[in-house]
Chains A and B, each alone.
Chain A
Amino acid sequence: MATKSLKARDNELAINNKQLEILNGGIFAEGELPYFKDKIADIGQFPLRPKKLEILQINVGYMCNQVCEHCHVDAGPDRKEIMTRDTMQLCLEVIRNTGAHTLDLTGGAPEMNPDFRWFVEESAKAGIKDFIVRSNLTIIRANKKYYDLPEFFKKHNIHVISSMPHYTKGKTDKQRGDGVFDKSIKALQELNTVGYGMPNSELRLDLVYNPSGAYLPGDQSAMERDFKKALKEDFNIDFHNLFAITNLPIARFLDYLIASENYEDYMYALVEAYNPTAVENVMCTNTISISWDGWLYDCDFNQMLGLKVASSIKHIKDYNEDVLNDRNIIISQHCYGCTAGAGSSCQGTVT
């Protein structure tokens, strides 16, 4: 299990161009597999264009208490990219005026940003319909200063979405690090205690499942059923929905695929599972992703690849929703990850 980010290890995959070179080259350049662009052109979806903006996803920093093997952000304790209060002020301006109904805070571990609580308090005042914080669960148990997070989330009616790769300890710890499973279970129980995830509770607690290896997620509803049964029986844990998310071949997951000699098979599996229906609802068509330093992207994955939006508006300081929505979405072969099977987004399947 790695304890440092690719960036701290000076791994060449920490360089965005190198990742794009891999995604655009090899089996795609040799014509063994079709480019994503050609696949969506077949169904008249190229260039891919945004629909109505529904979700503002803000990445408040890449620092994290975990170093998960599959992380597309390459997050970790050694990452110093953190959103400042000045940039948060610019975000607040946007949050107050946006037509989007969902605000989605992510990271890293967003709670590790020193201005996280202030930002949540201020954002909550904007009265946005669905206010999500993507919490990795272990952060709640990482340090005393985070112990009251469940109460804090409750106070601001935050919709908590948490990662949980499996309902067994072995698989969870292998992907996310030793001890992660036990801490996550404890954190889920604490969230349940304040009312999160309980049947009929308005305090939403959803889990994100993503595979611990070079395979695609199975049927989301079947997985949800298995997770619910196991977590209830073994730990008396309740939650609302399970989102099955496909791992995209970016950053540490790409590094893992290459090192384990699974890259080609994985890309074959993604292309084989390509579902044209999923293209219509890929999340980049209703989301804007904002980075810790205020740049705008089509999605969190493009953010990690350094692919800023193809628009005259590229930074939150110049934000203009109408201008921004009139753009072509930047795509590459990683996009097959969002169109495989039932499709994949930060909100789970899309079909």
Chain B
Amino acid sequence: MANPYYDAADLRKFGKITEWSEELGTKFFEYYGKVFEEGALSAREKSLIALAVAHVVKCPYCIDAYTKDGLEKGITKEEMMEAVHAGAAIESGATLVHGVQMMNKYNKLSM
């Protein structure tokens, strides 16, 4: 049996989630499409944000999708990697800022 987890070909089938819940699926894809249109932010900027978030939420489908989307939009590999670092910095910062809580607790408990 093929590996049931994270099959790259499943990304093509994403739209099928609508089949089991038409209203919610349709609304989601409408919203999704709208979000990534040109707006106050360019579609290019949004694609880089999506790529960074894709890494932070560690979604292999999203990483594939937004690497390809970036290529389609002419985004360079240097820009893509910097976006990944921006995501990583926030993620590691989010871990490290909890260090203050640890310090507070440590100080409170110590004489």
Q: Which residues of A contact B (CB under 8 A)?
A: 166-168, 170-171, 209, 211, 213, 215-219, 222-223, 226-227, 268, 272
Contacts and interface: CB of A to CB of B under 8 A. Distances in A.
Contacts of B44: 222, 226
Interface stretch (B19-27, B67-75, B101-109): B67-75
B interface secondary structure, majority: helix
Kindly name the residue among A211, A219, A227 whose own CB sees the greatest number of chain B CB atoms within 10 A.
A219
Contacts of B12: 268, 272
B74 A226 contact: yes
**Pairs of residues from A and B, 5 with the lowest C-beta to C-beta distance, nearest first:** A218-B72, A218-B73, A215-B71, A215-B72, A215-B68
A216 B42 contact: no
A145 to B, nearest CB: 34
Contacts of A223: 73-74
Nearest to B73: A218
A211 B43 contact: no
A211 B71 CA distance: 8
A166 B73 CA distance: 11
A58 to B, nearest CB: 31
Interface residues on B, range: 10 to 19
Contact of A222 (B68, B73, B76): B73
A244 to B, nearest CB: 10
A226 B12 CA distance: 29
Nearest to B42: A222
B82 interface: no
Interface in B32-86: 38, 42-44, 68, 71-74, 76
A213 B68 CA distance: 10
B76 A171 contact: yes
Contacts of A166: 74
B43 A216 contact: no
Given A171-B76, A268-B12, A213 B71 contact: yes
A268 B64 CA distance: 15
Nearest to A165: B74
30 contacts: A166-B74, A167-B74, A168-B76, A170-B76, A171-B76, A209-B74, A211-B71, A211-B72, A213-B71, A215-B68, A215-B71, A215-B72, A217-B72, A218-B43, A218-B72, A218-B73, A218-B74, A219-B43, A219-B73, A222-B38, A222-B42, A222-B43, A222-B44, A222-B73, A223-B74, A226-B44, A226-B74, A227-B74, A268-B12, A272-B12
Contacts of B43: 218-219, 222
Kindly name the residue among B44, B68, B72 whose own CB sees the greatest number of chain A CB atoms within 10 A.
B72
Contacts of A272: 12
